[in-house]
Amino acid sequence: MAAFGDGPERMLSRKRFCFRALVDIACVCCVAVPVLIINVVAQPFHRGFFCDDQSLMHPYKADTVPTWLLVVVGMGLPILSILLVECLLQKTTRCCVLVPTEIPPVPKSCSESSYRSIVIFFFGAAITQLLTETGKYSIGRLRPHFLDVCRPENIPSNCSDIFIMLDVCTGDDSVKMRQARLSFPSGHASMSMYSAAFLMVYLQARLVVSQAKLLRPVLQVAVFTMAFFTCLSRVSDYKHHWSDVLGGSLLGIIVCFLIVVSMTDFHHPLLRRRRAPLAGSRKERLPMYRQDNTSTSSEMPSPGNEQGTIQVHVENEKL
């Protein structure tokens, strides 16, 4: 009968999981679809410029970290890391170096534990991209290579005090012209820093290496170094001003912090390893708490409760 009852329970569990997955995907799409609409429909704010602005006279260069590489590494590396760590956490054999030493592994399956962290990661990435695109198109800050792409003409020879608002560009590449007005904040910086911050927090919360204590910090440093290099390359490639990169980096880190705090709880795998010891070690940090209670109860025993008094003295001796 037990084996027969397992079938309906599994079917019900699968239906609940599928329903939750559909709701989560719909929520992610509600944030991601506006990003596509902004990129297709919206036009950046038309900001003027001074023709002798030194910050806009840098040459146009190719990307050191192209967008496709940012997407592949920024999205693929956290997903692969989550799948690897969650699957290894299900193993309790000694041959596996990834063995949680503070609490036993979560009773969830590898796929369910991985899904709960991956869906939060994607939701945060969608929010980061939405805020980044909103800032780009609302501010319309000019990139450092704007004049090289714009190639303005019909401007006065002495225009040091003239702020040009008219469209005087003669560049024939419309895509470059549009991108030249989308400098703040840096999308490479916001996405790379968000992915790095999320992965660093995840490794800190879930990865316990019992035989190599420095492995986790080394992985975290490697992840942050890749994101930091991506941010620096945007300045050296003359794609962004340093303030654009700083703003994008802060945006990605803040979104990661808010996502981790607001969408995880005491029972979520992302914070389970760090939260569990705190709940169990509260009395251990206050050893006098139990001693004071037991001493008070031993000094004022109830009449005719000699057995309870003996048990209290035995507990005091154990402490």
- Whether 240 is catalytic is yes
Closest CA to 184 of 55, 41, 62, 51: 55
For residue 16, give both structure tokens.
């609940």
- Whether 188 is catalytic is yes
The residue annotated as part of the active site, out of 58, 240, 267, 268, is 240
- Longest CA pairwise span in the chain (Å): 106
Q: How many residues does the chain have?
A: 319
The residue annotated as part of the active site, out of 46, 145, 188, 268, is 188
Catalytic residues: 188, 240
